[in-house]
Copies of this chain bind each other. A is one copy, B any other.
Amino acid sequence: MADVSMPIGVLARSAGCKIQTIRYYEGIGLLPAARRTAGSQRRYGETHRQKLAFIRHARELGFSLPAIRELLALADQRESDCAEADRIARRHLESVNRRIAMLDGLRTELELMLTHGQGNRIRDCRVIATLADHRLCSQSHHAEATDS
């Protein structure tokens, strides 16, 4: 609890992010503005530390900043129903599942391309041939990824 008035560098280390990231979050209104010293330097307290930890953890879990903005607002409504928060998480899970499915398709094709020994000429290379002609692919693998 010696962090009643942390400078930004200490906060950044505690959150495991860059100083610029914190200023960026403040700039877009995701993290409330810090109080300033007489010389305009930011000083943070426990509330800021918790909010930033929440943001960073959500980012690690792949949530987008707009989604995190909503989640942060919801987190402050302690007595409200959590359906909306759950909906956001579920939507993100679906997006993660779609991306996994897409990458699985890519993996299949890449592995297929690479099923040939060493010492080939380019004109016999399955990697190059496949890239030049989708008919050598085993699937459609037509990609489209959306985020939460």
The contact string, 1 if C-beta is below 8 Å from chain B, for chain A 92-103, is: 110011011001
Partner of A120, one of B62, B82, B128: B82
Q: State which size class the interface on A falls in.
A: 35 or more
Main secondary structure of the interface of A (DSSP, over half): helix
Q: Does A85 contact B (CB under 8 A)?
A: yes
Q: Does A110 contact B (CB under 8 A)?
A: yes
19 contacts between A and B (CB under 8 A): A50-B132, A53-B132, A57-B131, A57-B133, A60-B141, A60-B142, A62-B106, A80-B122, A81-B119, A81-B121, A85-B128, A86-B125, A89-B110, A96-B103, A96-B107, A100-B100, A100-B103, A100-B104, A100-B107
Q: Does A65 contact B (CB under 8 A)?
A: no
- B81–A141 contact, CB under 8 A? no
Each complex incorporates copies of this chain amounting to 2
Given contacts A106-B96, A107-B97, A142-B60, contact A85 B132 (CB under 8 A): no
Q: Does A74 contact B (CB under 8 A)?
A: yes
